[in-house]
Amino acid sequence: MIISSIELREIRLPLIHFFETSFGRTTERRIVLARVIDRDGVEGWGECTAGEGPFYSDEWTDGAWSTLEKFLAPMVVGKKIEDASGTWLAMKPVRGHRMAKATIETACWDLAAKRAGVPLWQYLGGVQTEIPCGVSIGIQDSPAILIEKIERELAAGYQRIKIKIKPGWDLSIIEQVRQRFGNIRLMGDANSAYSLADTPLFQELDRFDLMMIEQPLAHDDIFDHAKLQQQIKTPVCLDESIHSAEDATHAIELGSGRIINVKLGRVGGHAEAQRVEKVCRENGIPVWCGGMLESGVGRAHNIAMATLAGFTLPGDISASARYWAEDIIEPAVTVTPRGTITAPQKPGIGYDVNLERIEELTARKEIIGRSQI
C-alpha cells in the first residue's frame, strides 16, 4: 500500500470520573488520533496512548504530536509499505517514541485489514473470539468509595479487580478489600512507587493471595524486580519496564517477574506486541492487555491484540461507558454479563469511527501529505 496522507488530530475528552495513580490524577484526556489514507482512499485509524504529561512514560501528548508531525508522518507519507509491519521500518531512524510510532503503525494495520476485508483481530492472527475483561480502579478519596466501586464492577461481571496502590494507600487498603471480598481475583498496580527497601511490605502483601503485583519498582528496572521476585510469593507483573520483545526476553531470563502486561503504545504497535506475545507464550509467561484510558479507537485496537493466544489473563479492557459519556466509535465497547468482550466481525478495527463526534472534540488538526478528503 502507498500512504498518501496522514491526518493528525488532538481531541479533548473529559473522563466521567477522575483516574488517579501513584503519579497523579487525570480528569480530561488529550488524545492524538491518526487517520491514515492510502492511494485508493482506504483509511485506517490509530490512537496515541501517551498521557497528558511525561509521568507514566517519557512520552506525552504535545511531545508525541511534534514527533508525529515533524518526523514520523513525513517518513511514512508517499512510501510504499509492503505490509503493516513494514511501517515500523519506515520510522526506524527515530529512536524511542514508541507511543507516537504506534499511533501510525496501528492505523496502518487497521487500513491493511480493511484492504484485506477481514477483522483486524483475524488479520493479526488472533484466535479468541471472546476476551476476558478486568477493571483498573484508581486511588479514591476513601476506602468506602473504593469498596463501593468494586461492588459495582463485580456486579457488572468483570472477572478481575485491579487497584492502584501507592505508599499510604497499600497494605491496609488491600486488607480491607480482601476482608470484604473473600475470593475475587484481585491485584495491585504500584506504577513504580516503591524501591527494594520496601521488600518487607511486599512480603506482608503475600498473605492476601493477590494474582500479581504490577510494576512495584522503578519504571526502567528489571534487575531489582528480579531480586524482589526471589523474596516474595506473589507473582510480579511488569508493565513500564517492557518496551520490546528483547526487554521481555531479558526480564524472563533474569526472573524479573512471572507475568507481563502488554500495551500497544508502550511497545510501539501491533508488530512488536505480536513479538512480545510470542516470546512470552514460548516461555510460559502469561500476558494480558494493559489499558491507557483509551478512547474507542485505542480500545478497539486493544481488543484485536488481546485475541492473540498468549493473552490468557483478563486485561484492563473495559466498557466505553466506564470512561466516556459518549465514545468516538459506534457502537460503544460493551461487556457481556460474563465479563467478556466479543471480537467484532467488521473489517479493520471492527467499529465505525464517529467523525461528527471527533470533529466536535477536535482541538487541533494537521494533514501531512496530499489530502483526499
Active site (catalytic) residues: 164, 263
Q: Which DSSP string corresponds to 277-337?
A: HHHHHHTT--EEE---S--HHHHHHHHHHTTSTTB-S-BS---GGGT-SS-SEESPP---T
CB-CB contact of 299 with 320 (8 Å): yes
For Mg ion, the closer CB: 10 or 239: 239
Q: Does 239 bind Mg ion (CB under 5 A)?
A: yes
**3 state DSSP class of 175:** helix
CB-CB contact of 91 with 107 (8 Å): no
Beta bridge partners of 262: 289
Phi and psi of 16, rounded to 5°? -60, -45
CA dist., res. 352 & res. 208, Å (int): 42
Q: For the purposes of burial, counting CB atoms within 10 Å of the CB of 149, is it exposed (0-12), middle (13-18) or buried (19 or more)?
A: middle
Q: Does 291 bind ligand OSB (CB under 6 A)?
A: yes
At 254, list the grid cell: 533474569
For ligand OSB, the closer CB: 122 or 261: 261
Q: Does 153 bind ligand OSB (CB under 6 A)?
A: no
Question: Binding string to ligand OSB for residues 84 to 123, with x set by CB under 6 A, is what?
Answer: ----------------------------------------
Q: Does 189 bind Mg ion (CB under 5 A)?
A: yes
Pick out residues in 233-262 that bind ligand OSB (CB under 6 A).
Answer: 239
- Interface size with ligand OSB, residues (CB under 6 A): 12
At 34, list the grid cell: 491518526
Q: What is the 3-state secondary structure (H, E, C) of 106-134?
A: HHHHHHHHHHHCCEHHHHCCCCCCEEEEC
The residue number whose beta carbon is nearest to Mg ion equals 239
Q: Cβ 140 to Mg ion, closest distance in Å?
A: 17
Q: Cβ 261 to Mg ion, closest distance in Å?
A: 6
Among 163, 237, 273, 292, binds ligand OSB (CB under 6 A): 292
Q: Does 316 bind ligand OSB (CB under 6 A)?
A: yes
Q: Cβ 2 to ligand OSB, closest distance in Å?
A: 34
The interface region with ligand OSB, picked from 222-230, 244-252, 284-292, 328-336 by CB under 6 A, is 284-292
For the beta carbon of residue 3, count every other beta carbon within 10 angstroms. Answer: 25
For Mg ion, the closer CB: 3 or 137: 137
Q: Cβ 149 to ligand OSB, closest distance in Å?
A: 13
**Residues at the interface with Mg ion (CB under 5 A):** 189, 214, 239
Site for ligand OSB, rule CB under 6 A = 21, 56, 136, 189, 191, 239, 290-293, 316, 318
